[in-house]
Amino acid sequence: MLPLILLPIFFGDTASVVVAGIVVIIMFKLILRFIRETRMQSINSSIATQSEAAPMSYSMSNHTKIEIEPIERFINNILKEKPVRFTPQNILDFTQNYAMKLGSGGYGVVYKGQFPNGIQVAVKVLNKTSGEKAEEQFMAEVGIMSRTYHINLVKLYGFCFDKSVKALVYEYMEKGSLDKYLYSQAQALEWEKLHVIATGTAKGIRYLHEECEQKIVHYDIKPANVLLTAELFPKAADFGLACLCDRKVSHGTPTGVRGTPGFAAPEMWTSVLPNKNEKCDVYSFGMLLFEILGRRKNLDFKQDNESREWFPQWVWNKFEQGEMESIISLCGVESKDRAKAERMCQVALWCIQYQPDARPSMTGVVRMLEGEQEIVPPVNPFYYISSTEADSKMVSTTDSSSSFNVKDNCETYSQSG
Ligand SMILES: Nc1ncnc2c1ncn2[C@@H]1O[C@H](COP(=O)(O)OP(=O)(O)OP(=O)(O)O)[C@@H](O)[C@H]1O
Ligand SMILES: [Mg+2]
Every domain of the chain and the residues it spans: 83-171, 176-412
Nearest CA to ligand 1 atom 17: 105
- Using CA atoms, how far residue 400 sits from 267, 270, 395, 404, in Å, is 15, 10, 10, 10
Active-site residue identified among 13, 162, 220, 391: 220
pLDDT one-digit tens code per residue, 316-332: 999 999 999 999 998 88
Residue ranges around ligand 1 (CB below 6 Å): 102-107, 110, 122, 124, 154, 170, 172-173, 176-177, 220, 224-225, 227, 237-238, 260
pLDDT of res. 212:
86
pLDDT one-digit tens code per residue, 341-353: 999 999 999 999 9
124 is in an annotated binding site: yes
Q: Is the pTM of the predicted complex or chain greater than 0.85?
A: no
Nearest CA to ligand 1 atom 13: 103
Identify whether 357 is a catalytic site residue. Answer: no
pLDDT one-digit tens code per residue, 357-409: 999 999 999 999 999 999 999 999 998 765 445 444 433 322 333 334 454 44
pLDDT band at 100 (very low <50, low <70, confident <90, very high): very high
Selection from 141-145, 190-194, 222-226, 271-275 with the highest mean pLDDT: 222-226
Ligand 1 site-directed mutation target among 94, 95, 98, 102, most atoms within 8 Å of CB = 102
What share of the chain has pLDDT > 90, as a percent? 48
Ligand 1 site-directed mutation target among 104, 177, 179, most atoms within 8 Å of CB = 177
pLDDT of res. 61:
37
- Give the architecture-level CATH label for domain 83-171: 2-Layer Sandwich (3.30)
Nearest CA to ligand 1 atom 20: 105
Instruction: Tell me, in angstroms, the distance from the centre of ligand 1 to residue 169's CA.
Output: 12
- Does residue 148 carry a pLDDT above 70? yes
Amino acid in the structure at residue 297: K
Instruction: Tell me, in angstroms, the distance from the centre of ligand 1 to residue 42's CA.
Output: 53
Q: For residue 225, give the nearest of 207, 239, 211 by alpha carbon.
A: 239
Cβ within 8 Å of residue 97, ≥6 positions away: none
Q: Which CATH superfamily is domain 176-412 in?
A: Transferase(Phosphotransferase) domain 1 (1.10.510.10)
pLDDT band at 1 (very low <50, low <70, confident <90, very high): very low
Instruction: Tell me, in angstroms, the distance from the centre of ligand 2 to residue 99's CA.
Output: 20
Q: Provide the sign of the torsion angle of the four alpha carbons 392, 179, 363, 370, taken in this order.
A: positive
Evaluate whether 122 touches 171 at the Cβ level (below 8 Å): yes
